[in-house]
A and B are shown apart, each in its own frame.
Chain A
Amino acid sequence: MTTPPPIPSSEITPPELYFNRRSLLRAGIVAATTASTAGLYRALNRPGAEEVKTPELVGLVKDRGDSTDPVEQANPEGAADPVEAAPAEPVDNGFHTDETLTSLRSVTNYNNFYEFTTSKERVALVSRNFVSRPWTVAVEGLVHKPKVFDLDEILKLSAPEERVYRMRCVEGWSMVIPWAGFSLSKLLDAVEPMGSAKYVAFETLFDPKRMPGQNYPALDWPYVEGLRLDEALHPLTMLATGLYGRELPAPNGAPLRLVVPWKYGFKGIKSIVKISLTENQPPTSWNVTAPGEYGFYSNVNPDVAHPRWSQATEQRIGESGRRKTLMFNGYGEQVAQLYTGMDLRRNF
């Protein structure tokens, strides 16, 4: 039995004869141009989808920690009457919310971190190779024990606790993030603030080689932030070293950032290298850039609109539709007493 020999390729009718040659050319033009347009669109306009994975944190304390220790309670001024010092019900310290967590992907791919890029969706990509070790933080100013801390020394100050906070951005969107870290007061206690200290000033790393966004003066670098000392000592004010049980990813401010859940997100300064205690109110980056739009306090306040847009509602990332923004981002029970007697419209 014999099989017929295969047809030599030279005998196959060339496609340009088989098809109408012009149609083929046109189909080619249509395919090539639309593919190029699609490629250009994809290159210029991609929603963030970087896989951001950092090492797991060791020794994370996950319990809800509704503390009965008056120092950890809502009122940091310690107004607890010794007779009533053992409350029957635990006070809600605000450390946890039962609201649905924002996905790790969204938390790490939607960031305002102008030190890398002003595009929220691209921060994860641009910060991909950011190295945050070794890292030191200078704690100085009006303190009895100024010190340059190595990152590991700060991490040893306290075991990382998981705290689930709402985060409200001044742009009108919000997230729910399981942070890891501890109250900033633990670090401040270690350096012993002087009686004359009234404010705490923070500074982000300035290194345009590692943070390429700093080559463009989107803000007056380095980024600086500040809190009143009583705000800084409030138990909710957190020095975050991680999220989702992992070390802090670069787009979220590796290796160390501030989290102040009742204030707009930009108060939560990232990648901190310096903390100093001062007598006078320190300058803050967004306030310097646009004093009429961003105040020193920047407490979340649905009744005080940004001059250009409303703050009454917010887009919770992962939800459809907008939800009402809460006064002090829902932490009024814990922090409202810090502002007793203050006009929050003037001190926005």
Chain B
Amino acid sequence: MTHQNLQFAKFVALLNCAVPGLLLGLDALRGDLGANPVNFAIRTTGMLSLICLVLSLAVTPAARVSGWSQITHFRRMLGVYAFLYAAVHFGIFFGFDRAGSVSSTLSEMSLRPYLAVGAASLLMMAPLAATSTNGMIKRVGGKRWKLLHRLAYPAGLAAVTHYFLLVKSDTRLPMAFGATLVVLLGYRVFALRRKRSVDLNQRGPRIGENNVVQAEPLP
């Protein structure tokens, strides 16, 4: 893909990730969010955040398995969207469900594990979003940046746990998200161990691995 085409593809992805959020906003303005609008908006933004987060974590394994390294260019955008949707998710909870009351928000969080776990997920995503620019990657330094961005995994697991704890009995969706995360994390752990054992045997990096890894620092 030429640079120009890649820029366009990124623009298309950027736009498409925003579409559900824009539709949600439009429906909210038209009073078209159903019987329980606040709950609907909270649920929708939470789901969007989780989808973006899982997709962002799927990019690297997908690039390695398929050999299509250019998709790594979409990882940052997906990660930032995961954070943005999570931030809006929390914002609606705070602003509407808790009526903007800091004390009621904090007391609910301390009493309800699902809220505490959700907040933890958002807090883990915040520094990742803040260090997502090229300038910040340079300032933090590649190695430390990679280490920091491994927080995406605990953030994802916390988000799934947050979802799981809310469901009364039909746990199919949170379980599906959880299983996907475990597979993705399992792949990364497996790949890392294999790479280490290969390094120990003093062989060169495996074919097809080096070019992907260098494309952008890993989470």
B169 and A218 form a contact (CB under 8 A): yes
A308 interface hit (Cβ, 8 Å): yes
Query: Of residues 285 to 342 in A, which have CB atoms within 8 Å of B's CB atoms?
Result: 289-290, 305, 308-310, 315, 317-318, 320-322
For residue B179, give the distance in angstroms from its CB to the closest CB of chain A: 17
Contacts of B12 in A (CB 8 A): 29-30, 33
Taking a contact as CB atoms under 8 Å apart, the answer to whether B170 and A114 are in contact is: yes
Count chain B CB atoms within 10 A of each CB in A33, A41, A42, A318 and give the residue with the most: A41
Is the pair B19, A47 in contact by a Cβ cutoff of 8 Å?
A: no
Partner of A110, one of B36, B97, B114: B36
Q: For the complex, is B136 an interface residue (Cβ under 8 Å from A)?
A: no
Decide yes or no whether B20 CB sits under 8 A from chain A: yes
* A130 CB contacts on chain B under 8 angstroms: none
Among B37-45, B53-61, B62-70, B120-128, the stretch that binds chain A is: B37-45
B208 within 8 A of A: no
Given A41-B23, A118-B170, A290-B169: A106 touches B112 (CB 8 Å cut-off): no
CB of A26 within 8 A of CB of B8, answer yes
A34, B16: Cβ atoms closer than 8 Å: yes
Q: Does A49 lie at the interface of the complex (its beta carbon under 8 Å from any beta carbon of B)? A: yes
Q: Is the CB of A110 within 8 A of B34?
A: yes
Closest to A107 in B: B35
Which residues of chain A (1-52) have a CB below 8 Å from chain B? 26, 29-30, 33-34, 37-38, 41-42, 45, 47-49
Give the CA-CA distance A188 to B51 in the complex, in Å. 52
Contact of A41 among B20, B35, B114 (CB under 8 A): B20
Interface presence of B187 (CB below 8 A): no
Name the one of A37, A48, A310, A318 contacting B108, with C-beta atoms under 8 angstroms: A310
Smallest Cβ distance from B7 to chain A, in angstroms? Answer: 11
**Which residue of chain B has the shortest Cβ distance to A294 in the bound complex?**
B168
Give complex CA distance A315, B36 in Å. Answer: 8
Contact B112 A47 (CB under 8 A): no
Bound together, the chains give a CA A47 to CA B41 distance in angstroms of: 10
The reply to whether A315 and B20 contact each other, CB–CB distance below 8 Å, is no
A residues within 8 A CB of B166? 308
Chain B residue at smallest Cβ distance from A105: B35
Counting CB contacts under 8 A, is B88 at the interface?
Answer: no
Q: In the docked arrangement, what's the CA distance between A54 and B196, Å?
A: 68
Is the Cβ of B34 less than 8 Å from the Cβ of A45?
no
Which of B16, B111, B113 is A37 in contact with, Cβ under 8 Å? B16
User: B20, B47, B114 — which one has the most chain A CB atoms within 10 A of its CB?
Assistant: B20
A4 to chain B, nearest CB (A): 43
Q: Is the CB of A38 within 8 A of B99?
A: no
Q: Which residues from A are CB-within-8-Å of B113?
A: 308
Say yes or no: B36 contacts A38, CB within 8 Å: no
**Separation in Å of the B185 CB from the closest CB of chain A?**
26
B169 touches A308 (CB 8 A): no
Check if B190 is an interface residue, CB within 8 A of chain A: no
Q: A49 CA to B27 CA in the complex, in Å?
A: 13
The answer to whether the Cβ of B32 comes within 8 Å of any Cβ in the partner chain is yes
A135 close to B (CB within 8 Å): no
The residue from A38, A310, A317 contacting B111, defined by CB atoms under 8 A apart: A310
A109 within 8 A of B: yes
Q: Are A309 and B34 in contact (CB under 8 A)?
A: no
Bound-complex Cα distance A348 to B103 (A): 28
Q: How far is the CA of A302 from the CA of B202 in the complex (A)?
A: 65
CB neighbours (8 Å) of A289 from chain B are 169
Bound-state Cα–Cα, A49 to B98, Å: 27
- In the bound assembly, the distance between CA atoms of A48 and B166 in angstroms comes to 21
Given A171-B168, A218-B169, A290-B169, check contact A30 B114 (CB 8 Å): no
> What are 22 A-B interface contacts by the 8 Å CB criterion?
A29-B8, A30-B12, A37-B20, A42-B23, A45-B20, A45-B44, A47-B37, A47-B40, A48-B35, A49-B32, A109-B34, A110-B35, A121-B34, A121-B40, A173-B36, A173-B39, A219-B169, A290-B168, A315-B38, A315-B39, A317-B36, A320-B38
List residues of B whose CB falls within 8 A of some A CB: 8, 12, 15-16, 19-20, 23, 27, 32-40, 44, 47, 96-97, 99, 108, 111-114, 165-166, 168-170, 172
Given A47-B37, A48-B35, A310-B112, output 16 extra A-B contacts at Cβ < 8 Å.
A26-B8, A33-B16, A37-B16, A45-B20, A47-B40, A109-B34, A110-B34, A121-B35, A121-B40, A171-B168, A173-B36, A289-B169, A308-B112, A308-B113, A315-B38, A322-B97
A residues whose Cβ falls under 8 Å from a Cβ of B:
26, 29-30, 33-34, 37-38, 41-42, 45, 47-49, 102, 105-106, 109-110, 114, 118, 120-121, 171, 173, 216, 218-219, 289-290, 305, 308-310, 315, 317-318, 320-322
Q: Enumerate the 6 nearest inter-chain pairs by beta-carbon distance, A residue then B residue, closest first.
A: A47-B34, A110-B35, A106-B35, A118-B170, A37-B19, A41-B20
